[in-house]
Amino acid sequence: MKLLITGGYGNLGSWLVRHFSDIASIEIYVISRTKKSFLDQYQHTFIQCDISNLDDCKAKLTQLNFDYIIHAGSVNDTFEQSYAQNALLVNTLGTRNLLECINKNDLKNFIYLSTFHVYGASEGIITENTPTSPKNDYASTHLFAEYYVKQFHQTHNLPFTIIRLSNSYGCPIDVQSSKWYLILNDLARMAYVENKIVLKSNGKASRDFIWMGTVCLVFEKIVHLAKAPNDIFNLSAEKSFQLIKIANDVKEAAISHLNKSISVEVNNLDLSEHHQSLEVSAHKLKMLINYTPEVRFKEEAIAIFTLLMQNY
């Protein structure tokens, strides 16, 4: 079985490469503009390709055959000055370039990693029937990419699965990751470096967080489906966690693993109560495959501490 993972050196993509490398029956290929050595220990074939460049995709991909494709390649660093342009080129146009150039004859499932942000909702229960109303370029470009996936299903009989993922967390595999701004990563590094955790808010805001290990297991089950469902699914933990709870989990992990006294400071000037409740329903996906999310904030915080200790 040949599996192509785009964005395989990214935050979640690298978890997917590591996960699938343990399955002997799967031959992994990774697309990226540049090869990175931190995944060398996990068997995979590197394909140097810029998906935002159609000519490059035609030259590198048209002669290759894959059984499954997990398209996780995107640009997500919304704070970058040129983000709007880069997101359109990579997230949207890059998806179309990939769809145009891959051999679709033997492909069993094109699995597109989208985001629950396409709904643009901040409260209530989100299901796949919730109207999409993206509020930023990250969400808009992913939603437009979804349209391309469905377009190629209509025009080329593309077998597909679209996964709208909620907030995922887990220790970066590479210490040089650009994703240290993500909540768990940021809090754990702050505890390690500064011996304290400082929240910009009162910590009462809550979000759905799902462990990337669970995400990888779900993707493995999707790959092993007898047939692509040709449908859209939310992937979430179906449970929200307050930021102060995550901060306290990091604190406990630091006390036990680093033997440090860690304080948690909140912004007492933030008087918001955060009564808004947002639930991302994964009921539809659970009707297709069975999964039970694990809560592993403490374990992943310890993994981050270990990564930092090994590199600094």
Q: Are residues 73 and 119 in the same domain?
A: yes
**Strand pairing report for 240-242 and 206-211:** antiparallel
The residue-averaged pLDDT of 158-162 equals: 98
Q: Are residues 122 and 182 in the same domain?
A: no
Please give the order of strands across the beta sheet that includes 167-169: 167-169, 206-211, 240-242
Express each pLDDT in 42-69 by its tens digit. 999 999 999 999 999 999 999 999 999 9
* Mean pLDDT for the chain overall: 95
Q: In this structure, is residue 181 part of a structural domain? A: yes
Express each pLDDT in 199-243 by its tens digit. 999 999 889 999 999 999 999 999 999 999 999 999 999 999 999
Q: What is the pLDDT of residue 80?
A: 84
The residue-averaged pLDDT of 151-167 equals: 98
Q: What is the pLDDT of residue 275?
A: 62
Start-to-end Cα distance in the chain: 39
Q: Are residues 47 and 163 in the same domain?
A: yes
> Roughly what angle, to the nearest 10 degrees, separates helices 183-194 and 297-311?
50
Nearest residue to 240 via CA among 287, 217, 208, 195 = 208
Q: How far is CA 228 from CA 97, 109, 200, in A?
A: 21, 5, 43
Q: Are residues 64 and 188 in the same domain?
A: no
The residue-averaged pLDDT of 22-50 equals: 95
Q: What is the pLDDT of residue 278?
A: 85
CATH number at residue 260: 3.90.25.10
Q: In this structure, is residue 15 part of a structural domain? A: yes
Q: Are residues 189 and 73 in the same domain?
A: no
Q: In this structure, is residue 287 part of a structural domain? A: no
Number of domains in the chain: 2
Q: Are residues 146 and 204 in the same domain?
A: no
Q: In this structure, is residue 291 part of a structural domain? A: no
CATH number at residue 218: 3.40.50.720
Q: Are residues 117 and 193 in the same domain?
A: no
Tell me the C-alpha distance between 168 and 115, whole Å: 10
Q: Are residues 122 and 261 in the same domain?
A: no
What residues make up the domain containing 21?
2-168+209-235
Q: Are residues 141 and 204 in the same domain?
A: no
Q: In this structure, is residue 230 part of a structural domain? A: yes
Q: What is the pLDDT of residue 307?
A: 97
Q: In this structure, is residue 286 part of a structural domain? A: no
Q: In this structure, is residue 280 part of a structural domain? A: no
Q: In this structure, is residue 161 part of a structural domain? A: yes
Q: Are residues 124 and 164 in the same domain?
A: yes
Q: Are residues 76 and 217 in the same domain?
A: yes
Opening angle at CA 10, ends 296 and 213, nearest 5: 25
Q: Are residues 217 and 197 in the same domain?
A: no
